[in-house]
Amino acid sequence: MNPHHKRLIQEQLQKTLENFLCLRDAQRPAMGWLRAIRQALGMSGRQFAKRLGVSAPWISTLEKNEVAGSVTIKTMHQAADALDCVFVYALVPRKELGEIVRERAISLAKRKLARVSHSMLLEAQQLSEEEEKRAFESEVEELIRDMPKKLWDDHDEI
């Protein structure tokens, strides 16, 4: 994929993610969403089971599985429908996508230029501080612009 398309995808996804930023710090109720919503609606486990088309004891298992994190997305969709809710599944980055890419590019550029500087020092061809700064900034911008696959490799592999 060319760098321009990568950038467009990143920008479009960032716009979509803005709708979810308010949820970034939201905490699941200790009892889980299913039980919390069911109880807030005044719905018994038996009534919920009937709406979901399962046995009443299974609701207890379902609610425990949600808290444990072992419930499937499909089951959460079905349970949400039975509670007249919409199940929302999203990954919400802690920072803007561009910022995550920039931080990774900076880290990679530092590592790369440290190796180059060491080699040049050994060959008595060390860059001035200003030249090093320009080379670093150029490397970071190139990594951000091109977003090569190596950006996300382990630094030891690069």
| pLDDT tens sequence across 59-101 | 999 999 999 999 999 999 999 999 999 999 999 999 999 999 9
**Is the predicted pLDDT of residue 158 greater than 50, yes or no?**
no
- Give the pLDDT confidence score for residue 114 in this predicted structure: 77
Separation of alpha carbons 117 and 3, rounded Å: 28
Domain locations in the chain as residue ranges: 25-82, 97-157
Residue 71 — left, alpha, or beta (φ > 0 → left; ψ -120 to 50 → alpha)?
beta
Which CATH number, 1.10.101, 1.10.260, 1.10.10, 1.10.3470, labels domain 25-82?
A: 1.10.260
If phi over 0 gives left and psi between -120 and 50 gives alpha, with beta otherwise, what is residue 94? alpha
Cα 154 to chain centroid, rounded: 18
Q: Which of 8-17, 63-72, 129-138, 145-154 is least confident?
A: 129-138
pLDDT at 122: 44
Residue 66: per-residue pLDDT: 98
pLDDT at 121: 47
